Amino acid sequence: MKAIKMTLALVAASAALGASTQATAGTTLDAVMKKGFVQCGVSDGLPGFSYTDEKGQYKGIDVDVCRAVAAAVFGDAKKVKFTPLTAKERFTALQSGEVDVLSRNTTWTSSRDSSMGLNFAGVTYYDGQGFLVSKKLGVKSAKELDGAAVCIQAGTTTELNLSDYFRSTGMKYTPISYDKSDETVKALEAGRCDVLTSDQSQLYAQRIKLANPEGYVVLPEVISKEPLGPVVRQGDEEWFDIVRWTLFAMINAEEAGLSSKNVEQEAKSSKNPDVRRLLGAEGELGKDLKLPKDWVVQVVKQVGNYGEIFDRNVGAGSELKIARGINALWNKGGLQYAPPVR
Amino acid sequence: MSTHTFKPSLPPPNMSVGVVGWIRANLFPNWFNSLLTLFALYLVWITIPPILNWALFSADWIGDNRDSCTSGGACWVFIKVRLSQFFYGFYPEDLRWRVNLTVLLAIVGAAPLFLRAMPRKLRYGAIYLLAYPVLAYWLLHGGFLGMSLVETSKWGGLMLTLVIAVVGIAGAMPLGILLALGRRSDMPVVRVICVTFIEFWRGVPLITVLFMSSVMLPLFLPEEVNIDKLLRALIAVTLFEAAYVAEVVRGGMQAIPKGQYEAAAAMGLGYWRMMGLVILPQALKLVIPGIVNTFIALFKDTSLVIIIGLFDLFNSIHQATVDPAWLGFATEGYVFAALMFWIFCFGMSRYSMHLERKLDTGHKR
């Protein structure tokens, strides 16, 4: 008798739990609509990805992704609040609902995607480990680095990648480890090592710190895969789709030649069916995602297409001057590819 | 008969008086000390001129972007451009008068307490201590009585550092005294609770407490409940420092001779009046250096909030150094941070020395 009661209680409890988890599934959009802004987790400071300018405005690629999501949901890129997160608290903040999107140069890996209750909505930046060398060395490729002394930040995966790379190519090297990335820069400048290795996006930032940035060059080889992208909680497909397609919309917009300058004009006058479907003049893209009909117009107008965001924050239009490289569109030799709108 | 007159005594040899004499006696008394002096002079010679040269003589002061920093010395332009952010964080520019007013009110309001001739000082102090926090909250945070809301996520810079330090000090002091009393209490339950509390908070590093409050706590709370990040940090800092203050105060109370307790009891004073009128005034005076030491440590510990993503003075400066427009000027930023922290800590230290002298009743040996 007692056992039956217990079982009944358990069943009731689990039913209640099940009901409550179902209630939370698919409600991020509702919750966001209700509070009137998107809460977005960003980095606590990374050049080109998220930082604050002199006026206290957040800037960077990761920040612009958040702004784009806000523009998609509310038609207003300003309806977003940023929570700076350290590398350690970022996943907790997302899991506990403190932030709605985590856009914080987070590498998409199998374990993070499968076992942490997270979903990666796409890739905003294909990063990878690279090498920074002095031009005086006359090295044109990483394959000529045999016997080099390499400056590296201790305790990071870059250390392991480096050893893998040199082992697989059968070259010798001397690692010189430092605790802080600033120290590696100073060591390179002082000639303690020939090469500095780190994620490519960071190499460009470190190059600026050198007294004579023009005297150094980032080698073309990339020896590891670091796809960075926005992350959302697992179990809310509706919100996942919104973030994912916001990203796709920006990439598709660049491919279709739509920019913040011409998108409003094109929305009215374009005859191209691809453009018309993307911008909501035809088809059901907005309705399917539970977003306003003109959401892509708002995203591109207020934030820009993918190329504009890249240029402004890390590319030619910024201090970092990172080449598009593998982040170019797929039809221009890069990896950025978005499914068609249909 | 002529009287014998002594010759006036000769002046001491030139080499043993005045500046030269002092130098000989103190810097070059023997060959070993002379060697040490020369070595010290050499150290000063190789360190001080380059530092002064970097920080002052060849530094850049004028301009508003990195192109004006060409001389190779320190680039103070970076600090100048970012100064308002180092002070106010992201506090909206047109509302910064509210921060200034809060600081001004703190100074003006507290000034009478430092006047010797002020009548009814105790009553005034009590009213001030009760009214000011409400007023400060209204001014800084707002959201009621016609003051527009400025969320704590917009607070930052020196202002945030001061908020954490002041709230921490103001909260830890009374709580610490109560804990110290509780630990010396005859009531077993009270004593056990206080001992457990103190030993728990003293046993964990502040960084762990902050980390738990920001990484673990949200997982235990339901999804809708979201405790303000700053509030979490304030509670953590206050409880943490209260445990330290409690132990310092307890040390002072143990230094009071037993006769004082017995005398107070013989006068017919109850527990609270005995503590409040006889024991604590003496005990607290004894432990001023210890308490100020704790508070200086607290002030510097505020920079640990960097690990939970709050932008205090240090983190604001760190944040500014990753702006691509100003990459490579981290040294200037950190020197500035050190200078600001030093000014406040040195100020606290001087004030505590002044307080010790003022309250000195001849116990010092």
pLDDT number for residue B1: 61
Mean pLDDT computed over A148-164: 85
Query: For residue B318, which residues of chain A lie inside 8 Å, CB to CB?
Result: 45
Which of B215, B307, B328 has its CB closest to that of A209? B328
* Of A154, A128, A155, nearest in space to A142 by CA: A128
The domain A131-218: what is its CATH number?
3.40.190.10
**Interface contact A81, partner B, CB < 8 A:** yes
CB-nearest to B218 from A54, A98, A319 is A98
DSSP string, A68-92: HHHHHHHS-TT-EEEEEE-TTTHHH
Q: Determine the Cα–Cα distance for residues A104 and A115; give it in Å rounded to an integer.
A: 19
* CB-based contact A154:A247 (threshold 8 Å): no
A209 touches chain B (CB under 8 A): yes
Residue B365 has a pLDDT of 52
Contact predicate A183/A228, CB 8 Å:
no
List phi, psi (to 5°) of A167. -70, -40
Hey, what are A285's tokens?
A: 């893209």
Q: Which residues of B touch A96 (CB under 8 A)?
A: 218-219, 221, 223
- So what's the pLDDT on residue B350? 93
Count other Cβ atoms within 10 Å, centred on residue A234: 16
The answer on pLDDT for A180 being more than 90 is: no
Does residue B205 sit at the A interface (CB-CB below 8 Å)?
no
Per-residue pLDDT at B125: 85
* A92 contacts B328? CB cut-off 8 A: no
Evaluate whether A127 touches A227 at the Cβ level (below 8 Å).
yes
Whole-model pTM: value is 0.82
pLDDT for B296: 94
Query: What is the least distance, in Å, from the CA of A104 to any CA of chain B?
Result: 13
CA atoms of B323 and B316, how far apart (whole Å) = 11
Q: Is residue B304 part of a domain?
A: yes
Burial class (CB in 10 A: 0-12, 13-18, 19+), A238: middle
B228 touches chain A (CB under 8 A): no
Cβ–Cβ under 8 Å, residues B326 and B287: no
**Alpha-carbon distance values, A79 to A29, A38, A302, B92 (Å):** 14, 6, 12, 16
Bridge pairing between strands A101-107 and A226-233: antiparallel
Q: What is the DSSP string of B59-124?
A: -B-S-SSGGG--SSS-BHHHHHHHHHHHHHTT--GGGHHHHHHHHHHHHHHHGGGG-TT-TTHHHH
| Option in A51, A209, A319 nearest B319 (CB) | A51
B132: distance to nearest CA of chain A, Å?
Answer: 29
Mutate to test the interface with A, among B99, B327, B331, B334 (most CBs of A within 10 A): B327
Q: What is the share, in percent, of chain A residues with pLDDT greater than 70? A: 92
Cβ neighbours of residue A213 closer than 8 Å, sequence gap 6 or more: A207
Please report which helix (H) or strand (E) contains residue B321, including its range: helix B313-321
Other Cβ atoms closer than 10 A to A338 = 21
Interface check for A54 against chain B (CB to CB < 8 A): the answer is: yes
The amino acid present at A266, given as its one-letter code, is E
Q: Assess whether the region A27-126+226-332 and the region A131-218 belong to the same CATH fold.
A: yes
Question: Where would I find the H helices in chain A?
Answer: 2-24, 28-35, 61-74, 90-95, 110-115, 157-169, 181-189, 200-209, 237-255, 263-269, 273-278, 285-288, 295-302, 306-313
| Residue B206 falls inside a structural domain | yes
Number of domains in chain B: 1
Show the tokens assigned to B70. 């060409």
Q: With respect to residue B124, please indicate whether it lies within any of the assigned structural domains.
A: no
Say if the Cβ atoms of A54 and B218 lie within 8 Å.
no
Residues whose CB is less than 8 angstroms from the CB of residue B69 and which lie 6 or more positions away in sequence, other chains included: B60, B63, B75, B77, B78, B329
Q: CB A44 to CB B306 under 8 A?
A: yes
Whether A84 and B311 lie within 8 Å, measured CB to CB: yes
In what helix (H) or strand (E) does residue B313 lie, and over which residues does it extend? helix B313-321
Residue A259 three-state SS: coil
Chain A residues in contact with B307 (beta carbon < 8 A): 86, 88
Which residues make Cβ contacts (< 8 Å) with residue A73, sequence separation at least 6? A29, A32, A33, A38, A79, A242, A291, A295
- Closest by CA position to B326, among listed B8, B71, B65, B140: B65
User: What residues in A contact B323, CB-CB < 8 Å?
Assistant: 47, 51-54
To test the contact with chain A by mutation, choose from B67, B78, B85, B223 the residue with the greatest count of A C-beta atoms within 10 A, namely: B223
Contact A56 B90 (CB under 8 A): yes
Amino acid A42: pLDDT: 93
Q: What is the nearest CA distance from B329 to chain A, expressed in angstroms? A: 8
Q: Are residues A72 and A140 in contact, defined by beta-carbon separation less than 8 angstroms?
A: no
Q: CA-to-CA distance for A300 and A305, rounded, in angstroms?
A: 5
Q: Give the residue on A whose Cα is nearest the Cα of B330.
A: A182
* Domains of chain A by residue range: 27-126+226-332, 131-218
Q: How far is B138 from chain A (nearest CA, A)?
A: 23
Asked if the C-beta of A259 comes within 8 angstroms of chain B's C-beta atoms, the answer is: no
Q: DSSP state, A26? A: T
Torsion of Cα atoms, A313 then A315 then A319 then A322, to 10°? 130
Q: Determine the distance in angstroms separating the CA of A31 from the nearest CA of chain B, rounded to an integer.
A: 10
Residue A290 has pLDDT above 70, yes or no: yes
Looking at residue B223, its pLDDT comes to 66
- Kindly report the CATH number that applies to the domain delimited by A27-126+226-332: 3.40.190.10
Question: Could you give the angle at the alpha carbon of A185 between the alpha carbons of A334 and A322, nearest 5°?
Answer: 20
Q: Is A25 on the interface with B (CB under 8 A)?
A: no
Distance from CA of B70 to the nearest CA of A (A): 10
Instruction: Please tell me the distance from the alpha carbon of residue B193 to that of residue B282, in angstroms, as a whole number.
Output: 26
Q: Are B218 and A51 in contact (CB < 8 Å)?
A: no
Rounded distance, CA A60 to CA A128, Å? 18
The residue among A173, A206, A164, A169 whose CA lies nearest residue A188 is A206
CA neighbours closer than 13 Å in the CB half-sphere of residue A211: 9
Chain B CA closest to residue A55 = B85
Identify which of A219-228, A250-259, B95-104 has the greatest average pLDDT: A250-259
For residue B214, list chain A residues with Cβ-Cβ distance below 8 A: 89, 92
- Distance, CA of B346 to CA of B182 (rounded, Å): 32
Q: CA torsion sign, A68 to A73 to A74 to A78?
A: negative
Q: Quick check: A260 and A303 in contact, CB under 8 A? A: yes
Residue type, B208: T
φ, ψ of residue B246 to 5 degrees: the values are -55, -45
Which residue on chain A is closest to B226 by alpha carbon?
A98
Residues of chain B positioned with their CB less than 8 A from the CB of A46: 322
Q: Is A146 on the interface with B (CB under 8 A)?
A: no
Q: Considering only alpha carbons, which residue of chain B is nearest residue A35?
A: B224
DSSP B282-299: HHHHHTHHHHHHHHHHHH
Interval A1-6 mean pLDDT: 46
Closest partner CB to B330 (pick from A83, A97, A182): A182
The long-range contacts involving B32-38, CB below 8 angstroms and separated by at least 24 positions, are: none
Q: What is the pLDDT of residues A17-31, one digit of tens each?
A: 433 343 344 589 999
Q: Which CATH number is B198's domain given? A: 1.10.3720.10
DSSP 8-state symbol, B58:
T
Question: What are A301-316's pLDDT values in tens digits?
Answer: 999 999 999 999 999 9
> Are residues A128 and A250 in contact, defined by beta-carbon separation less than 8 angstroms?
no
pLDDT at residue A199 is higher than 80:
yes
pLDDT at position A21 is 40
Amino acid, res. A208 = I
Tell me if chain A has a CB within 8 Å of the CB of B330.
yes
> How many other C-beta atoms can be found within 10 angstroms of the C-beta atom of residue B323?
22
Residue A75 at interface with chain B, using a CB cutoff of 8 Å = no
Is the CB of residue B309 less than 8 Å away from at least one CB of chain A? yes
Write out chain B's pLDDT in tens, 365 residues. 677 888 888 888 777 778 888 888 888 888 999 999 999 999 999 999 999 998 888 888 888 887 888 877 888 998 988 898 899 988 888 888 999 999 999 988 888 887 777 778 888 888 888 889 888 999 988 888 888 888 888 898 999 999 999 999 999 999 999 999 999 999 999 999 999 999 999 999 998 888 888 777 877 877 667 778 889 889 999 999 999 999 999 999 999 999 999 999 999 999 999 999 999 999 999 999 999 999 999 999 999 988 888 889 998 998 888 888 888 888 899 999 999 999 999 999 999 998 888 887 766 55
Task: Return the residue in A39, A86, A184 with the most chain B beta carbons within 10 A, the one to mutate for interface testing.
Answer: A86
**For B219, which of A24, A96, A208 is closest by C-beta distance?**
A96
pLDDT (0 to 100) of residue A18: 39
